Amino acid sequence: MCFSMYTTIPMPYIEWEEKYYKYIIIYLSFVGLAIGLIWFFLTNIICKVLIPLTVKTVIVCFIPLFLSGFIHIDGYMDTCDAIFSRANLEKKHKILKDSLVGAFAVIGILIIAFVYYISIYEILKANKSLLSLIFIPIFSRGITSLFIIKIKPISKEGFIASFKKDLNNKHFFVILLILMLFFALSYHFNVYKIILINILSCIFFGVFCIKDLKGISGDLCGFMITTSSATSLLFLAIL
């Protein structure tokens, strides 16, 4: 159910049952692991192909977006429209539900696309270690899932409200334990600095969104995942 919802990876048909909804949030980190592994291996293959670096960069940028079905980018754009509208809280919540694309969404997608492109370009150009690509999707989704458990949803309807209904502190600590194990692996592979940046940026953008919109939603989760991933790639390019 989790992979069917948050990836384009082919999955066997499963009857969705409400009693399993809470596990969807718990397994978000493993969705990130699958996306990260595919991203890492495909990028290594692409690096060996004799095509221009600019083309390689575009393909590498596209891989995680395609694997997630662009669902997080959609949430990122909706959140940009809401937050930067500078409207009152009620109006911002209406904007989040609006399917129309506003000017701030367009500006936001251009900025994030530029950050993604220039970061990946510099990473490939400098022939830097690509191991961080495995861990970035894990932690951007894992930290977001912790926010989902602890923060009240903006709306009583929708996926987030349905998924978190039966979640409690026990599930919070299960996810935290999973992330600690993954962090230990990142330390072993010496990519923990980028992962720390990923965690901090996810927390920063999460607090920013929640403070501005007084709750959490699927769109805000998409915003956190997209911005924390882009920030991590930018620092990987710089460091």
pLDDT digits (tens, 9 = 90+) for 64-112: 999 998 889 988 998 888 888 888 888 888 888 777 788 888 999 999 9
> Residue 116's pLDDT band (boundaries 50, 70, 90)?
very high
pLDDT at 140: 93
Q: What is the C-alpha separation between 83 and 208, in angstroms, rounded?
A: 10
pTM of the entire predicted model: 0.90
Query: Total structural domains in the chain?
Result: 1
Condensed to tens digits (0 to 9), the pLDDT of residues 145-182 reads: 998 888 888 877 777 777 777 788 888 999 999 999 99
Condensed to tens digits (0 to 9), the pLDDT of residues 120-129 reads: 999 999 999 8
Condensed to tens digits (0 to 9), the pLDDT of residues 33-57 reads: 999 999 999 999 999 998 999 999 9
**Per-residue tokens: 66:** 């395609």
* Alpha carbon distances (Å) from 28 to 114, 138, 218: 27, 8, 13
CA dihedral sign, ordered 193, 65, 207, 144: negative
Q: What is the residue range of 144's domain? A: 2-12+19-238
Residue appearing with tokens 């956190």? 224
pLDDT at 205: 84
